[in-house]
Structure 1
């Protein structure tokens, strides 16, 4: 089983409100011998952050089964034997996971280019580090025009890698009609400025799926992904060949899924789940449901 977290296992502004029954589901599946993975696009948390949170909230998940986009990005750079520096446009968690992989990085926090930015670009005084060989982008509350200019400066070199944790464009403020802009908005700004597409590490890209296959032998036909977002979770599951379940406790609604099922656009069709549940807790009801005698007779 592969599961996203916010909107599936917990909710709330601080993400500390456990969805009723969620921990029981995870712990029950673990007790049944199932592999349970927590998969997140959130670029503001490290693997350690998530593991500590799971422990605090009563989820029995192995640390190495916590797969977040910053961690995967750091592991990707390690696997390709990346030796240069990374310019980070993102939260401290992204820089920490890159550094844990043994790779140097710069950036992070507020940045300001002194004087006229136009003159700085024209005179080559942007302060670009010649050792930078990659730009990594995630959610960044300190994002600014100055950072956009510096990122574009590095990416003007075609050999400089352009990586993004995820392309989620918004997330809802629970209990209101509002959405907040997410990492995908920043990624898109840099893509538009540089005329270069980012290599996306998180869902719906299959990088995480390939890691699950390589490390744990995950077989898609025997795996179930439960998510609350059609464009990332469900698209990821369908693209990788997993069974997909939408829960209605997060971003996407049942009406969203029904609308997409009517489209003729193949890319949107990939976002349609096979099943839906009101909540992940409904799995407990399914696990406890008696097996039909008719089914038993058919199997014989």
Structure 2
């Protein structure tokens, strides 16, 4: 089953006396600073997100409208940060850990927050405090395991969570960051102006890129039609000797079928450049069960082939240890009924991807995520999902190419899968508007790609222009 999410606590109760206005409402990326950080926490998958307000709460709260956050009012905010920490801890119910963020750190990323969570989950027992550090200097935000909540709740009002570091030095785990800007804060208007000036041209993100992870449907093609710039994009990759992986949540077709489709569209590539959620599901099952294990598949030939090739027995539904669901255009009521009975009987529920819709020339049609949602409603069981925005496809792609997140660009057309997954792992992201989501969707979303282009042709042109005098 999926891990219980780590909580976020956004400490935003201060009076901002040196700013002459609420620091929480300073603009960053077109949003109030407090909204920006709440969006980052949401993109990182943290839940619940608690926001502690104090001074000027009535002015600040509307900036968070529409966001899945829980507002806490600290009426003792003038006594110090410890009063906000104590209030937040009292509201944390069932969270295994919490990351405490301050509202004046605009360069915090979803990738950093996810890295803190991953570091904690992978740590040995008794290492329950994770602190980001640059060149040995600790910073914020800080993750505290639940075992420390009682001590945090008892902190003096004028003392922050760092007071626990000395008493629990043996339980500290430092996560090194490569860029000090990630941990920079702004205590004065001059410091905030300095952080604004330090913001880089977004296109500069493309300069260190050595590899690309690109979605296919809605980026390279729509239905059977190539999208603008397809062949030129692959020519550009070859010119620059850029590594690439073509990654899709669609498990209906095999890797070979994707290679053949690209060939029909004028692009020659090899199977090792293609990875789909069917392959990811097969590898996951091999980690969980031996070949010969019974699997009931609701999905297309690509998913069935990937599982059969790994030695799993595909049943007709009479009994199964796993139910694996991928996109299936011939999905029937009987498929739904049989899968429901097996899951209710104890079979583990695996989904290839959460895409609720799928682009064809005639418009958007139901995707695998719609089928998963139907089965989840029928069984009250949440599936374990392999595809984007979960990290498996990205991590496998980077491992194949031998590259790091900072030098790998994610290209996609969906905010909720392609872009969100890249942001969570700290990869630069480029969204193209040729598929699922529009510019208006971006404006309404809490997921904010680093770069936005009309299509692949526009992205390639902008990338080429970086080297022009």
Deviations 1:183-214 (A, max 9, x none): 11111111122211111111111111221244
In 1, are the aligned partners of 2:275 and 2:397 still within 8 Å (CA)?
no
- Counterpart in 1 of 2:358? 171
- Counterpart in 1 of 2:302? 93
- Counterpart in 2 of 1:62? 270
- Aligned partners of 2:274 and 2:359: how far apart in 1? 23
Structure 2: tracts of 5 or more residues without a match: 1-211
Indicate the SS of the match to 1:185: helix
- Counterpart in 1 of 2:279? 71
Deviations 1:204-231 (A, max 9, x none): 1111122124433331111111111111
- Aligned partners of 2:385 and 2:284: how far apart in 1? 11
- Aligned partners of 1:27 and 1:72: how far apart in 2? 28
- Number of corresponding residues: 257
Of structures 1 and 2, the one with the larger relative CO (CA 8 A, separation 6+) is 1
Cα RMSD of the aligned pairs, angstroms, is: 2.0
The counterpart of 2:290, out of the listed 56, 70, 82, is 82
Correspondences of 1:1-300 after superposition (within 5 Å): 1-11=212-222, 15-83=223-291, 84-107=293-316, 128-129=318-319, 132-158=320-346, 160-174=347-361, 178-260=363-445, 269=446, 271-289=447-465, 291=467
- Aligned partners of 1:191 and 1:4: how far apart in 2? 26
Larger Rg: 2
In 1, are the aligned partners of 2:213 and 2:397 still within 8 Å (CA)?
no
- Aligned partners of 2:357 and 2:254: how far apart in 1? 20
- Aligned partners of 1:95 and 1:89: how far apart in 2? 9
- Name the TM-score, length of structure 2 as normaliser: 0.52
Indicate the SS of the match to 2:397: helix
Indicate the SS of the match to 2:315: strand
Deviations 1:120-140 (A, max 9, x none): xxxxxxx722xx211000122
User: In terms of mean alpha carbon deviation, does 191-200 or 55-64 score higher?
Assistant: 55-64
- Aligned partners of 2:324 and 2:250: how far apart in 1? 14
In 2, are the aligned partners of 1:171 and 1:180 still within 8 Å (CA)?
yes
Change (3 A) 1:284 1:156: closer
Indicate the SS of the match to 2:246: strand
Change (3 A) 1:202 1:157: same
- Counterpart in 2 of 1:123? none
Change (3 A) 1:2 1:146: same
- Counterpart in 1 of 2:24? none
- Aligned partners of 1:204 and 1:165: how far apart in 2? 11
Deviations 1:93-136 (A, max 9, x none): 211111122222124xxxxxxxxxxxxxxxxxxx722xx21100
Structure 1: tracts of 5 or more residues without a match: 108-126, 261-268, 294-300
Indicate the SS of the match to 2:449: coil
In 2, are the aligned partners of 1:37 and 1:61 still within 8 Å (CA)?
no
- Name the TM-score, length of structure 1 as normaliser: 0.79
State the shift of 1:49 in Å: 0.5
- Counterpart in 2 of 1:296? none
In 1, are the aligned partners of 2:281 and 2:352 still within 8 Å (CA)?
yes
Change (3 A) 1:256 1:79: same
